[in-house]
Amino acid sequence: MRALLMALLAFVSLSFAEKVLVIDVEGMTCKTCPLAVKKAISEVKGVKWVKAYLKNRVAVVITEDGVSEEEVIRSISRAGAYRGKLIGEGRF
């Protein structure tokens, strides 16, 4: 899991983003769950890119600087029976 997170952070750093968040998402159980999580996170102002992975229950989010991690995590809860927990962050 740690190797996957580091690889994801390295990959998204190529986009020259201000901030990268890696969030563990509890409650994703089916193929439509990542779509719901992605849609909810995408609605947060300042979010540039989102990818949610069902297999590892992780969402990777690229945001503009100044976007609150708490706001992104709250958006996950609003999408349904999901809970998010920040497990990695980077700035570029």
Residue 48 contacts residue 60 (beta carbons within 8 Å): no
Q: pLDDT class for 6, splitting at 50, 70, 90?
A: low
Share of the chain above pLDDT 90, in %: 73
Domains of the chain with CATH codes = 2-91 (3.30.70.100)
C-alpha torsion sign, points 89, 68, 40, 30: positive
Whole-model pTM: value is: 0.80
Helical pair 69-78 and 33-42, crossing angle rounded to 10 deg: 130
Per-residue model confidence as pLDDT tens digits over 51-82? 999 999 999 999 998 899 999 999 999 998 99
Residues 49, 62: contact at Cβ < 8 Å? Answer: yes
